[in-house]
Every structure is written in structure tokens, then in C-alpha cells.
Amino acid sequence: MQERFCTCGKMVLVRYGSNVKSARNPIFMIADKKIVSAVRLCPCCGMPLDINTLR
């Protein structure tokens, strides 16, 4: 898993799949109080998470 940051500064974990198809569609996860959950929108600013817009 990689650590990336939303433009608002929220840390987002990115997990790439093991095959080519899923590698193009990484799974975004947020760690909050030791609970990790998959998300599609930033819980902080509501922006749709996109690998190209994360820092």
C-alpha cells in the first residue's frame, strides 16, 4: 500500500491490485482510528478520489 494525500491534505492509502486490470483501478482506503475502510470519495472534502489527483 502506498500513502498518498488528497488535495485537502487527508492521507489516503492506495492499494493496487495484483493483475493488470485491477492495477489500473486502485482501491482507495482511509485509516481512521485503526479502522481501515475502502472509500471512493474523500471523507474530508468529498472529492472523488483519483490516482491522478492525489499527491
Q: Does 41 bind Zn ion (CB under 5 A)?
A: no
Q: How far is the CB of 47 from Zn ion (least distance, A)?
A: 5
User: Using CB atoms within 10 A of its CB, is residue 55 exposed (0-12), middle (13-18) or buried (19+)?
Assistant: exposed
Residue 23 or residue 36: which is nearer to Zn ion going by CB? 36
Site string for Zn ion, 1-40 (x = CB under 5 A): -----x-x-x------------------------------
